Amino acid sequence: MINDLRTMVWKEFKVQFRGQTKKTSYIRQLMAPIVLAGIFPITWGPEWVNEFPALIIAFITPAVIIGVMIPDSFAGERERHTLDTLLASRLSDRTILFGKIIVPLIVGWGAALVFTLISLVVVNLAHSENGVLLYTPTISAGIIFLSFLSASLLAGGGILTSLASSSTQEATQKLLTFILVPAMVVQITPLLFQDQISKTLNLLNGNQILIALGGILVITDMIIFILALKKFQRSEMYML
């Protein structure tokens, strides 16, 4: 299984990052996190290292990277007529599925860590009058774990939409819906339940909020991955 996964990852890296068009597309998509990592820490000041906004980069970067990579996973192979041959090989369903998830996940999460480090360098360059600034343990844990969990959520959701699409374009549109609808709900809910939410948040400290958020993401990730495992079965791919 591990060797097979390595093989899938090897192929996915080659296919994803080969070609000038692909590289240009990634660079264009990364402009938003690059600007955020460069500007936010300067405007926020030294408090950047112990405030929750530092987590914004850790959430946005994987979304941007995975949003570009994951729709191509199954829908792209289907579109380019390479999926049939892959399914006719000896690789197991799980190997193919996880091979497709791992690469966007690693790249998205890795980029999130790199950009939060860049923003740390920027805040130090701009506001390090009182010595070196470092992220607090809570923010560091948030960056490392929450960015991984949110990247997993997007990768899992992206795989589900890609599995259910016949083209990369269709998969991209479905993924946008997958991202935007919950984002709208998250934005509207505080307006509707402002009092209850502020009361609850007042009862919790920063660590507890992160743990609660992490817990919700872990459960959601598990549900998404179970759905993806159920959805991706060879015999299901050939139903008329």
Q: Is the CB of 87 or the CB of 106 nearer to other proteins?
A: 87
Rule CB under 8 A: is residue 169 a binding residue for other proteins? no
Residue among 194, 220, 188, 214 nearest 55 (CA) = 214
CA 33 to chain centre: 13
What span, in angstroms and rounded, lies between the C-alpha atoms of 77 and 13? Answer: 14
Q: How far is the CB of 24 from other proteins (least distance, A)?
A: 14
Give 201-240 as a DSSP string: HHHS-HHHHHHHHHHHHHHHHHHHHHHHHHH--HHHHT--
Rule CB under 8 A: is residue 24 a binding residue for other proteins? no
Q: Is 160 left (phi over 0), alpha (psi -120 to 50) or beta?
A: alpha
Rule CB under 8 A: is residue 94 a binding residue for other proteins? no
Amino acid in the structure at residue 31: M
Residue choice 10, 128, 193, 196 for contact with other proteins (CB under 8 A):
10
With 0-12 / 13-18 / 19 or more C-beta atoms within 10 angstroms meaning exposed / middle / buried, residue 81 is exposed
Helices assigned H by DSSP within 30-82: 31-44, 54-69, 74-79
Rule CB under 8 A: is residue 81 a binding residue for other proteins? yes
Rule CB under 8 A: is residue 235 a binding residue for other proteins? yes
Residue choice 5, 34, 86, 102 for contact with other proteins (CB under 8 A):
86
Rule CB under 8 A: is residue 23 a binding residue for other proteins? no
Rule CB under 8 A: is residue 230 a binding residue for other proteins? no
Q: At what angle do helices 147-163 and 93-127 cross, to 10 degrees?
A: 140
Residue choice 4, 51, 110, 170 for contact with other proteins (CB under 8 A):
4
Q: How far is the CB of 68 from other proteins (least distance, A)?
A: 15
Q: How far is the CB of 170 from other proteins (least distance, A)?
A: 19
Rule CB under 8 A: is residue 7 a binding residue for other proteins? yes
Rule CB under 8 A: is residue 25 a binding residue for other proteins? no
Q: Is the CB of 28 or the CB of 80 nearer to other proteins?
A: 80
H or E element that contains 109:
helix 93-127
Residue choice 5, 91, 102, 229 for contact with other proteins (CB under 8 A):
91
- Which positions touch other proteins (CB under 8 A)? 3-4, 7, 10-11, 14-15, 18-19, 22, 80-82, 84-92, 234-235, 237-240
